[in-house]
Amino acid sequence: MPTYNCGKRFLFVHIPRTAGRFLEENFKENGFELEQGYIWDSVDGIEVAHFHRELYEKHLDVEGIPHIAIIRNPINRFFSASSWLKRMYGEDIQEAMEDPIMFSMMLNNFPLPEAVNWYRPQVDFISDKTYLWRFEDGFKEKFSEWISNILGVSFRIHDVPYEKLSYDESNRLERTDKLIDNIKSLYRKDIEQLYPELAA
């Protein structure tokens, strides 16, 4: 959840699994510099890069500057992060994750506390003053125009490489109806406030 500066300061509300690493490289390409040191350090048990609202308001100077966040279909976001669950709990967790009680227990007791925000609801990251862009709308010219208008500076998306995670991100849980029901329950507020079309 770093702040950037290039004459114009802004907060990038980095919700995990919403193209954050790609965008961070693009901020650098556009001349924006991080104001924090190493963003993968943990403060209050959470990585600075993935601070939710309570922590970035507590630890970062964000009052009066634009807040920008990418939101994503919460079901797709969960499955994108599910490879980390398999890495932490083992390959054979599909049945456990389909059980509502086990699903809650495994997420609430995630063995890597600093990464727990990978599964936190998106509404915990944003406020009524956060500018929101949907991941599903892509990162092309309209996105560049959107950011440029918010910041009042020219911003262009570049096809830049970004650091990949050190494990197989494609090794994900299976999309079953039972698991999707659990995910919808977990992200009820995300669906109500951000993706009401998923409520049906």
Task: Tell me how far apart the alpha carbons of residues 1 and 52 are, in angstroms, rounded to a whole number.
Answer: 7
Confidence label for 196 from pLDDT (cuts 50, 70 and 90): very high
Q: Which residues have a Cβ under 8 Å from the Cβ of 177 and sit 6 or more positions away? A: none
Q: Is the pLDDT of residue 168 over 90?
A: no
Q: Is residue 171 within 8 Å of residue 158, measured between CB atoms?
A: no
What is the share, in percent, of the chain residues with pLDDT greater than 70?
96
Q: Is the pLDDT of residue 172 over 60?
A: yes
Q: Is the pLDDT of residue 31 over 80?
A: yes
Confidence label for 165 from pLDDT (cuts 50, 70 and 90): low
Q: Is residue 122 within 8 Å of residue 135, measured between CB atoms?
A: no
Task: Tell me how far apart the alpha carbons of residues 156 and 79 are, in angstroms, rounded to a whole number.
Answer: 29
Secondary structure letter of residue 135 according to DSSP: G
Residue 42: its pLDDT value, please? Answer: 86
